[in-house]
Chains A and B, each alone.
Chain A
């Protein structure tokens, strides 16, 4: 299957700092990318949907000023957690698909720990 690379796989940062997570589709052009958050032993919670070249659409309850999403090209989307706090500690996963009818592929996930 296609490859979606997410980097970094884990990061520890101090409270108040910002962290950027990258999501790349390595062998296909991703019209749409999704960002999820996953709490321990729970399913994925969709945070936002991003389409290349346009603003991301955030799910209800997700602060767009805190979780900045950029989808500048068909192969790269970034999620920046601004002014991170311990409650932002979580597992973040990105997903990419070429279009609605095609398979969705997921990155390896990023474990964020804010201390």
Chain B
């Protein structure tokens, strides 16, 4: 059974800092990995999708990497802003097409 871990559960950084959010998983037999953002009381916004055959994806200030052999993914946020404050979740799609989520990292960027 796939297990997805995101540590730490919460993170507070000053504005402008570059930061890395980590995600680890136990089963490397995946179709893809997605990073999502969730604002309080809202649905999920897809940030980046990395296919199983890919190593990384970039969108603006965000860069996500995938290393299946070590069971890890990272989301890099450059020059963080207060508007980046949210909960970030990683999720993997397995052979059953279901998404398995981590518990998320709640990020607070201080002005």
Contact = CB atoms under 8 A, between A and B. Distances in A.
Interface of A: 1, 4, 6, 32, 34, 42-44, 46, 49, 91, 93, 95, 97, 99-109, 111
Given A32-B97, A100-B31, A109 B46 contact: no
A111 B93 CA distance: 26
Interface residues of B, number: 22
30 contacts: A1-B46, A4-B43, A6-B43, A32-B97, A34-B99, A42-B103, A43-B103, A43-B104, A44-B89, A46-B98, A46-B99, A49-B97, A95-B44, A95-B99, A99-B97, A100-B97, A101-B31, A101-B32, A101-B51, A103-B34, A103-B49, A104-B46, A104-B93, A104-B99, A106-B36, A106-B45, A107-B43, A108-B42, A109-B41, A111-B41
A54 B44 CA distance: 26
B25 interface: no
Interface string B63-101: 000000000000000000000000001010100011101
Contacts of A4: 43
Contacts of A43: 89, 101-104
